Chain A
Amino acid sequence: MSVREGWRPKIVAFCCNWCSYAGADLAGTSRIPYPASVRIIRVPCSGRVNPVFVVRALQRGADGVLVAGCHPGDCHYSTGNLYARRRLLVTRRLLAYMGIEPERLRLCWVSASEGERFAKVIEEMTAVLEKLGPVQQLREEGPP
């Protein structure tokens, strides 16, 4: 597929307020650089993330969606991330089944103390998306 000049992947990341958002903050306070590809949306819990949010992001031009929550067992609400895991697992499979690269959706566990890890996840994912290129499938035609 043809990737237009200077294209950089865009990742929409849903971060749970208690672990992953804090983890991203820690990456900041400890000045751990990572690609500027990611844009974070703060949610109370990874369990708040509706699979439709994911597809919506891919439709509107995101190249990848990251959902980050507390490690299983550490969820501030005890079970939210476990529901999220099920839902997003199915979501991911369905995306693949309907012809969207599953790598575009990733769920990961990042605790408040894992700034390093957050940065690493973003690096990995950015690399993956750079290989995949922009989402061609769901592009909608804009005004002439």
Chain B
Amino acid sequence: MSWALPAVDALAARLLEDRLVDAVLGWARDPDLPWQRYPHRVDEPSRVGELVWDPFCAPGLAKLVFRMTEGGLKLGVLARGCDALGVWRLIHDRRIARENVYLLGLPCPGMADGVRVWEECPEAFDAAGWEDHGSHWVAVPTGIRLPKERFLLDKCLQCQVRWPRQCDEVLAVQGGSWNPFCEDRYRQVRQLEELPLPQRFDFWRGWFERCLRCFACRQVCPACNCESCSLDQFEPNWLEREVGVATQFIFHFTRALHVAGRCVDCGECQRACPVGFPLGALNRKMMKDMEDLFGVREPFVPQESEPLGEFALDDPDEFR
């Protein structure tokens, strides 16, 4: 399967020409940093050439769609599985009007850690285009092969939402949700669950000490879309500004609980965190519990209703 950039451009151009959308949101090359792709917005068909679709489009787009469409802008979104679900999260939370987004689904073979590639094989960035060979990305015409297990972004290593679901249109290439690098989405969760309790706490405390509480995880998260985050409020002071083990615990506990049953597993929080806090291990724990306790299937696919806003008469009652 190849990264059909021309096809993407063509689709984007058509959307703009047909006035289906006012703008298209995708990625563009950073002129200063060869490995960097940042979110980019194109308003005229003539400029779709600025868009890029290759193994370095790391940033998630969903959260940006929220603010962009606020003013009623009709937005076409180049959406990988994670982006699409993120947008749907926002739609179901009534933060985005369905009619304001046109989801252009791009089956995603996984994204590479640009800096890593840049450090280890800068010549890869001379490529004109890219092909996906399952276990490798292959640059055309240079033929440079990048092994995925070495270069995949963490979030993509863990990804199980590669296929763009619930899109208005999906770029016609084969591909699927299956990710050979992640047989068991809950592996890390299980490992942690099996640790003895004190060690479990030590594990987290270690991370609490490093978390800067810069809120990058919250700000990139499509599920964290509240008008006013309770963690920012002073009255009531859900979370004190003081940073200590206890407050860090409350911060991460609350965050995890607030996305419980709503997280779309896009892994953006993980990517955004500068110190590598394993936010995924918290989010997926919640997913796992939603599955185990309440039998929610595909806990990462957004629904109108959310598990914690529901109940069943026969919910488990294990409090001893």
Binding site for B on A (CB under 8 A): 51-52, 55-56, 59, 72-73, 79, 82-83, 85-101, 103, 105-108, 137-141
Contact = CB atoms under 8 A, between A and B. Distances in A.
Contacts of A97: 189, 192-193, 200, 282, 285
B7 interface: no
Contacts of A138: 245-246, 249
A47 to B, nearest CB: 10
A92 B316 CA distance: 12
A86 B308 contact: yes
Contact of A96 (B197, B247, B256, B317): B197
14 contacts: A51-B253, A72-B317, A86-B315, A90-B289, A93-B289, A94-B282, A97-B282, A99-B197, A99-B201, A99-B202, A106-B319, A106-B320, A137-B249, A140-B246
A52 B254 contact: yes
Given A90-B257, A92-B319, A52 B250 contact: yes
B310 interface: yes
A79 B311 contact: yes
A45 to B, nearest CB: 13
Contact of B308 (A55, A87, A108): A87
Contacts of B203: 99
Interface of A is mostly: helix
Given A93-B289, A99-B202, A59 B249 contact: yes
Contact of A86 (B198, B249, B310): B310
Contact of A89 (B198, B250, B310, B316): B316
Interface in B185-210: 189, 192-193, 197-198, 200-205
Contact of B260 (A90, A98, A107): A90
B232 to A, nearest CB: 14
A100 B311 CA distance: 25
Report the interface size class on chain B: 35 or more
B244 interface: yes
Contact of A90 (B238, B247, B286, B309): B286
Nearest to B238: A52
B304 interface: no
Interface in B226-255: 238, 244-247, 249-250, 252-254
B303 to A, nearest CB: 15
A126 to B, nearest CB: 15
Given A98-B253, A107-B319, A108-B319, A90 B293 contact: yes
A55 B249 contact: yes
Best-buried of A72, A85, A99, A105 by chain B (most CB within 10 Å)? A99
Contact of A72 (B192, B250, B313): B313
A83 B310 CA distance: 7
A94 B286 contact: yes
Contact of B256 (A88, A89, A94, A139): A94
Nearest to A80: B311
Contacts of A95: 253
Contacts of B38: none
B289 A99 contact: no
A69 B286 CA distance: 24
B261 to A, nearest CB: 8
A86 B246 contact: no
B308 A90 contact: yes
